[in-house]
């Protein structure tokens, strides 16, 4: 986990339309619209003037005043033919309510302004391999550009429920299924079938997808797609092919599988962002059995009601710009040449 910067946001939460109070053993629920109606009646001298000011009918304003008096158990207004005056209780309630409503308005304004600022806490969940290799330096860069953010990056290869875990956003590498979450694609994630030169010398290379079934295979243990390999044939008029590999070794982490492949234990389907430099350096061989593993995507996912926050928008836009041309998809690129795109920089055209 990474912790960086210090939050500097207003801590007030948004207020509801009700104000709850407990006086002695009596509990009351006051509606802010009733209090507002009373304040306007006192300030403007009558229900008619208050109704015109608020854009409401006289009957609505009158009912709100009556409901407020009933809830308080006190008469707030002295009615005369010319003008309404607050009673003794009404004058006291007016002064206290006006101060309270002013505080509520200031609190609501502070929250609204804070929602438009990139500040506060942002909890991020990501897979271990991608988080360690790629996301961690990007989050550090994002934190430096936004010093009022308090960032938390947690790495876990399990599919964790965001609400249960208290996360604002998760980075997921998958073929997305129907979900109650919103997903924003950050980058493609092509996968490759690979093995070590030593394994290829001993066991040969599969020429077809069906041949893979006769080889020692290493696969993910924590997901069904990792245990069932799906390929898109190079001939686009053919239907996808699916095989269940002969698994001699499983792991729930891509780095562990990479180590096993490098050690010559068998074939594996791994994300290119994990093995791209091994392929370039010749430590691994890309196996091409006339078909390509179905492509995944790298997504930022978050609850449907969350994208209104400026901090989440800023993070997603930053990651989309930074990963618009991921080095693992660029021929000839290397880890050393990979650059972080500055915050809000225009994404390079593909």
- For 204, half-sphere exposure in the C-beta direction (CA atoms, 13 angstrom radius) is 8
Q: What is the length of the chain?
A: 350
Q: Which residue has the higher pLDDT, 229 or 80?
A: 229
pLDDT at 225: 54
pLDDT at 128: 93
pLDDT at 335: 43
Confidence class of residue 349 from pLDDT cuts 50, 70 and 90? very low
Q: Which of 67-71, 73-77, 133-137, 341-345 has the lowest mean pLDDT?
A: 341-345
Confidence class of residue 221 from pLDDT cuts 50, 70 and 90? confident
Confidence class of residue 264 from pLDDT cuts 50, 70 and 90? very high
Confidence class of residue 284 from pLDDT cuts 50, 70 and 90? very high
- Segments making up each domain of the chain, as ranges: 18-115, 121-187+307-322, 191-294
Domains 121-187+307-322 and 191-294 share a fold: yes
pLDDT at 262: 98
User: What are phi and psi for residue 339, nearest 5 degrees?
Assistant: -115, 150
pLDDT at 174: 80
Q: Report the top-level CATH class of 191-294.
A: alpha beta
pLDDT at 155: 95
Q: What is the mean pLDDT of residues 66-71?
A: 90
Contact residues for 306 (Cβ-Cβ < 8 A; gap 6+): 168, 169, 182, 312
Percent share of the chain, pLDDT over 90: 47
Q: How do residues 323-333 score in pLDDT, each as one tens digit?
A: 988 888 866 54
pLDDT at 344: 30
Q: How do residues 113-143 score in pLDDT, each as one tens digit?
A: 665 678 889 999 999 999 999 999 999 999 9
pLDDT at 294: 87
Q: Which residue has the higher pLDDT, 346 or 285?
A: 285
Confidence class of residue 334 from pLDDT cuts 50, 70 and 90? very low
Percent share of the chain, pLDDT over 70: 79
Distance of CA 9 to the CA centre of its chain: 19
pLDDT at 243: 87
Q: Which residue has the higher pLDDT, 18 or 160?
A: 160
Confidence class of residue 237 from pLDDT cuts 50, 70 and 90? low
The mean pLDDT value of the chain amounts to: 81
Q: What is the mean pLDDT of residues 8-32?
A: 50
Ordered strands of the 181-189 beta sheet: 2-4, 149-155, 120-126, 169-174, 296-303, 181-189
Strand pairing class (169-174; 18-23): unpaired
Architecture of domain 121-187+307-322: 3-Layer(aba) Sandwich (3.40)
Residue 350 predicted with pLDDT over 60: no
Q: Which of 77-86, 199-208, 260-269 has the lowest mean pLDDT?
A: 77-86
Q: How do residues 141-177 score in pLDDT, each as one tens digit?
A: 999 999 999 999 999 988 888 888 899 999 998 866 6
Residue 228 predicted with pLDDT over 80: yes
Confidence class of residue 316 from pLDDT cuts 50, 70 and 90? very high
Distance of CA 34 to the CA centre of its chain: 38
Handedness of CA 173, 176, 179, 184 (dihedral sign): positive
Q: What is the mean pLDDT of residues 38-46?
A: 90
Architecture of domain 18-115: Orthogonal Bundle (1.10)
Q: What is the mean pLDDT of residues 4-18?
A: 38
pLDDT at 27: 57
**Alpha carbons 291 and 6: distance in angstroms, whole number:** 49
Confidence class of residue 305 from pLDDT cuts 50, 70 and 90? confident
């Amino acid at each position: 986990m990474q912790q960086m910067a210090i939050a500097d946001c207003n801590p007030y939460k948004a207020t509801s339309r009700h104000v709850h109070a407990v006086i002695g053993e009596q509990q009351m629920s006051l509606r802010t619209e009733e209090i507002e109606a009373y304040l306007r009646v006192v300030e403007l001298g009558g229900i008619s003037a208050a109704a015109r000011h608020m854009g409401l009918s006289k009957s609505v304003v009158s009912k709100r005043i009556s409901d407020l008096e009933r809830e308080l158990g006190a008469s707030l207004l002295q009615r005369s033919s010319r003008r309404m005056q607050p009673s003794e209780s009404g004058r006291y309630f007016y002064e206290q309510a006006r101060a309270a409503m002013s505080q509520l308005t200031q609190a609501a304004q502070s929250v609204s302004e804070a929602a438009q600022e990139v500040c506060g806490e942002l909890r991020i969940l990501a897979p271990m391999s991608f988080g360690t290799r790629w996301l961690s330096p990007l989050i550090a860069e994002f934190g430096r550009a936004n010093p009022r953010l308090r960032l938390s990056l947690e790495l876990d290869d399990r599919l964790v429920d965001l609400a249960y875990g208290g996360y604002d956003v998760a980075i997921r590498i998958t073929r997305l299924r129907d979900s109650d979450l919103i997903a924003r694609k950050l980058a493609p994630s092509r996968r490759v079938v690979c093995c070590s030169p030593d394994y290829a010398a001993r066991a040969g290379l599969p020429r077809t997808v069906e041949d893979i079934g006769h080889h020692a295979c290493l696969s993910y243990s924590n997901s069904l797609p990792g245990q069932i390999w799906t390929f898109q044939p190079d001939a686009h008029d053919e239907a996808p092919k699916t095989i269940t590999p002969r698994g001699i070794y499983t792991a729930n982490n891509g780095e562990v599988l990479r180590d096993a492949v490098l050690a010559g234990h068998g074939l594996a389907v791994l994300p290119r962002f994990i093995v791209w430099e091994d392929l370039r350096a010749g430590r691994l061989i890309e196996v091409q059995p006339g078909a390509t593993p179905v492509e995944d995507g790298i997504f930022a996912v978050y609850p449907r009601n969350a994208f209104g926050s400026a901090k989440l928008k800023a993070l997603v836009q930053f990651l989309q710009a930074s990963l618009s041309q991921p080095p693992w998809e660029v021929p000839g690129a290397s880890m050393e040449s990979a650059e972080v795109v500055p915050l809000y920089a225009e994404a390079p055209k593909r």
